Chains A and B, each alone.
Chain A
Amino acid sequence: MTEVTLSKLDTDSHLILDQPLLRLPHELLRKNLKSAQRQIEVSHKAIDSSLDPVKPSSRPADTLAALDATLAKAQTLKRKLEALHEEERNLHRQQKARIAHLQDLHDVQSVGDVKFDDWSEVRLDRLLVDYLLRQGYTSSARALASAKNVEDLVDISVFEESSRVEAALRGGDVKEALAWCGENKQALKKISSNLELELRLQQFIALRRTGEMGKLTEALVHARKHLGGGQDLEFGLKAGGLLAHPPDTMVEPYATIYSSTRSDYLATLFLQTHHTLFLLPSQPLLHTALSAGLSALKTPTCHSLHNPNRGRSHLSSSIATLTGSPLCPICSTELNELARGVPYAHHTKSFVEEDLVVLPNDRVFGRERLRALCEKLGVPLGKIRDPTEGLRGTEWGEGELRKVYIS
């Protein structure tokens, strides 16, 4: 471990977590443009068709009426485009804020820089908001984003929409999800997603489940319309199989398809599809960063039975032990349990203080630190005490210290 690698910050590799930050607004801008294109196409057709019947020979009154209708359509187009333009402006503002945020990191020279701490704090807030949003804690996410002023760096509305659809799916309602599929038809086709087919199949199942004759016919029509087409034969076959098996069947795969776990499956599938479409990572980035961080910080001492700080919770009324070093984040209550399963950091060299001595109770200290701690504890000159034992520790003569060599 050399100082050189540490002091210099490799910005580009440090930003590996931050790709989605710039990707998402971009994807949304694309989507926005697609909507604009669709609007214009629709209006173009509508305007053409409303002007079509107007011939130079038409009566002026008819012509006026047709023109009025056309004008109304053009006005609608304008309104819609204005809304899209507004959205576009919002996205541009977010984009700008995000670029500036990443640019800030480029201005940081070294890890020791105060600016790096500031930047890291903003990143933590971002990751936290992202986590809260993904877990459906939308109010908390909003509150945190506004308290920390990072609204433009997080994607609240995107996740709000996806959570809404997800919740509806878990509740057995596929309408919103289908609407979402409709909005993103082209993109879904591109990643050859079968989300829409699954949703249509779900509608079919709901109709089939009733068992009423009328509904069954309806189910049949539904299946022909949505599941039969050339896309994926499997869905049509499944629908056929479901018709043959009643909802209480034990026959697989139909029993699973009928079971209530299917709504969870659909919700998960929707989230997966949604995240893939917007190039969002499937796991919260907080997890990625946290597990790497826990490992990098963890030492075998953190969960050792002999660690004086381990497992001490803020709730135990005993007095904090005195080691003179800052408390380790992995040893603290917040993260100790969480870090139990992760591997500890790899080291090739010992990292110890200079001039080590061992106390009669086998604990090793740097001589200087031990002296300073004993002084703080008011241990008489010429005597020493294990500072981790606080005021009640045994006192030894200084002569009982032994030098120890660790290389």
Chain B
Amino acid sequence: MESILAAHETLSSKANLSKALQDVDALISLLQNARDNIESDPDTTPLHIAKLKTPLKQSFDKIDDDLKEVNKGLNQYQKALKDKFKASALPTASIGSNASDGAATGLDSQRSLVERAIAMHLLREGKFDVASTFVKEVSAQAAGQDDPPRWLEDFADQEGGEDENMDEDEDGELDEELYGELGRGHLQRKFAEMYHILDALRNQHNLTLAIEWARNHSAELEDRGSNLEYELSRLKFVELYTSSPDDANTALLNALDYARATFPTFNSRYARETAALVTTLAYSTQLADSPYSPLFNNPSLWTSTSQLFTREFTSLLNLPSTSPLRTAITAGGLALPILQKVERIMSTSRGQWTSVNELPVETPLPANFMFHSIFVCPVSKEQGTDLNPPMMLPCGHVIAKESLEGTSRGKSRVKCPYCPIESKPGEARRVYI
């Protein structure tokens, strides 16, 4: 990287057209001088013209030299680039798609799905303007086609778009089926709401909207075992408590009132926590030294509550809290170097990987990129699938169905590969991991 940077410095400070420009200026003044002299004293014309020839040639030689220096700088930069990126070939997307299908398939053929993912990504990132520009452009491009992408209908065009959609009344029934009672633009409205609340929460430290939302969705949140409602109330309590340092008594009373009104609803699950909060009122004069100080002096509280809110909000929409597209691209960045190496090795050895459904190598990802439990059969080293599911033997050990069938072929009893216990093949039980 350093050599690239150094080469860039040379380019921007020295090896650029500024010198050539200076020399062109010099050339112009040379000509101008000659002209002025001739005009003021026409008799000297032959002299000045004769004097002009050589400097003129020199000027152009100089300009040529200036350009040569730029060229030299560029070559240096190119060399630095070459050293940095030794492998000049870019990885192709073909490794991701099934190798047997060739490179032409893959994501190219699924443009509409990719674009739907992008549109949803823009929404969940809160880039509503960009999203609506995008939806408009996609619609405009699709206008000439017989089969416009279905997903477009899930995004509301604030102005005008609705009318266009209205024309397609014939498949209104289908829409009903696909989009239920929620209607078009549902997702967009939802995310707009989320960012509205988040903005209040994160930037203005205003809890009102978030608390209202949590109360309206109390039952669903409860069903998920979410702490959001409690966390918000706690934050509100702390806010009231510390709101006016000048008038500590009023603040205390407000907090107490709030606690009386709100905390009983949390009694079943948060009795201990609410009790602790109310007890802090007794320490009001020396909170900082009290055992409760972490409850009050926690600068990351707003951020973490905002994150919790985002997570709960997206969960109720059945969506992951980080954009899947972002997760996938980051994972792709981590996996690509390995895949590229495999591709290179396979192209030199003319090998082919045999299992079409599975990548040929491990592409390790950090733990926060692991979303499912993974079962690898200890016998066959294959992953459990719907066709070859994990089977639990009566002893509690689990092997893949095909492995079980392999070991039990022709026998009435099968011995567990891990312990001495024997059982009938039929006693094995399919488990869902």
Residues of A within 8 A of B (CB): 1-2, 5-6, 10, 12-17, 19-20, 22-23, 26, 29-30, 33, 36-37, 40, 44, 47, 51, 54-58, 60, 63-64, 67-68, 70-71, 74-75, 77-78, 81-82, 84-85, 88-89, 92, 95-96, 99, 102-103, 106, 111-112, 117, 120-121, 123-124, 127-128, 131-132, 135-140, 143-144, 147-148, 281, 283, 285-297, 299-302, 304-306, 309, 312-317, 319-320, 322, 325-335, 337-338, 341-353, 358, 362-364, 373, 375-378, 390-391, 402-407
Q: Which bracket fits the contact residues of B?
A: 35 or more
Residues of the A chain whose Cβ atoms lie less than 8 Å from the Cβ of B332:
288-294, 296
Q: Is the CB of B220 within 8 A of A319?
A: yes
- B residues 385-433 touching A (CB-CB < 8 Å): 385-386, 390, 392, 395-398, 418, 429-433
Complex CA gap A84/B378 in Å reads 66
- Additional A-B contact list (18), CB under 8 Å, known A22-B85, A288-B91, A293-B327: A13-B337, A14-B337, A16-B91, A26-B81, A29-B74, A33-B67, A67-B35, A78-B25, A103-B5, A124-B329, A138-B137, A139-B133, A288-B92, A327-B315, A328-B320, A332-B318, A333-B120, A342-B96
Residues of the B chain whose Cβ atoms lie less than 8 Å from the Cβ of A309:
318
Residues of the A chain whose Cβ atoms lie less than 8 Å from the Cβ of B106:
287, 291, 341
Given contacts A40-B63, A352-B373, contact A290 B107 (CB under 8 A): yes
Q: Is the CB of B98 within 8 A of A406?
A: no
Q: Is the CB of A6 within 8 A of B366?
A: yes
Complex CA gap A99/B187 in Å reads 38
B46 at the interface (CB under 8 A from A): yes
Q: Is the CB of B337 within 8 A of A344?
A: no
Complex CA gap A396/B221 in Å reads 24
Q: Output the nearest chain A residue to B78 by Cβ-Cβ distance.
A: A26
Of B198-206, B258-266, B354-362, the one touching chain A: B354-362
Residues of the B chain whose Cβ atoms lie less than 8 Å from the Cβ of A22:
4, 81, 84-85
B87 at the interface (CB under 8 A from A): yes
Q: Is the CB of A345 within 8 A of B363?
A: yes
B64 at the interface (CB under 8 A from A): yes
Residues of the B chain whose Cβ atoms lie less than 8 Å from the Cβ of A99:
1, 4-5, 8
- Taken residue by residue from 321 to 340, chain B's Cβ proximity to chain A (1 for < 8 Å, 0 otherwise) reads as 11111111111111111011
Complex CA gap A17/B418 in Å reads 45
- Taken residue by residue from 5 to 33, chain B's Cβ proximity to chain A (1 for < 8 Å, 0 otherwise) reads as 10010011000111011001101100110
CB of A300, distance to nearest CB on chain B (Å): 4
Q: Per DSSP, are chain A's interface residues mostly helix, strand or loop, or mixed?
A: helix
CB of A316, distance to nearest CB on chain B (Å): 7
Given contacts A75-B28, A78-B21, contact A348 B376 (CB under 8 A): yes
Q: Is the CB of A300 within 8 A of B326?
A: no
Q: Output the nearest chain B residue to A327 by Cβ-Cβ distance.
A: B320
Indicate which residue in A96, A112, A316 contacts B8 across the interface (CB closer than 8 Å).
A96
Of B163-171, B175-183, B235-243, the one touching chain A: B175-183
Of B48-56, B246-254, B279-287, B293-301, the one touching chain A: B48-56
Given contacts A13-B337, A64-B39, A92-B12, contact A343 B363 (CB under 8 A): no
Complex CA gap A301/B433 in Å reads 9
B193 at the interface (CB under 8 A from A): no
Complex CA gap A81/B114 in Å reads 43
B194 at the interface (CB under 8 A from A): no
Q: Output the nearest chain A residue to B378 by Cβ-Cβ distance.
A: A407
B129 at the interface (CB under 8 A from A): yes
Residues of the A chain whose Cβ atoms lie less than 8 Å from the Cβ of B113:
337-338
Complex CA gap A293/B25 in Å reads 55
Complex CA gap A81/B67 in Å reads 11
Given contacts A316-B180, A329-B371, contact A81 B21 (CB under 8 A): yes
Q: Is the CB of A328 within 8 A of B371?
A: yes
Residues of the A chain whose Cβ atoms lie less than 8 Å from the Cβ of B331:
292-293, 296-297
Given contacts A5-B364, A334-B324, contact A74 B31 (CB under 8 A): yes
Instruction: Specify which of B328, B363, B364, B432 lies most central, judged by the most chain A CB atoms within 10 Å of its CB.
Output: B328
Q: Is the CB of A131 within 8 A of B364?
A: no
Residues of the B chain whose Cβ atoms lie less than 8 Å from the Cβ of A6:
364-366
Q: Is the CB of B360 within 8 A of A346?
A: yes
28 contacts between A and B (CB under 8 A): A6-B366, A16-B87, A29-B11, A96-B12, A99-B1, A103-B5, A111-B366, A128-B118, A139-B133, A144-B134, A287-B107, A288-B96, A289-B332, A291-B332, A292-B336, A293-B327, A293-B330, A296-B332, A300-B384, A320-B318, A328-B371, A332-B320, A334-B117, A343-B356, A344-B358, A351-B373, A363-B432, A404-B396
Given contacts A60-B42, A390-B223, contact A77 B362 (CB under 8 A): no
Q: Is the CB of A348 within 8 A of B362?
A: yes
Residues of the B chain whose Cβ atoms lie less than 8 Å from the Cβ of A294:
96, 328, 332
Q: Is the CB of B383 within 8 A of A102?
A: no
Residues of the A chain whose Cβ atoms lie less than 8 Å from the Cβ of B118:
128, 131-132
Complex CA gap A338/B329 in Å reads 14
Complex CA gap A235/B190 in Å reads 59
Complex CA gap A379/B46 in Å reads 110
Residues of the B chain whose Cβ atoms lie less than 8 Å from the Cβ of A33:
17, 67, 70-71, 74
Q: Is the CB of A36 within 8 A of B17?
A: yes
Complex CA gap A397/B39 in Å reads 112
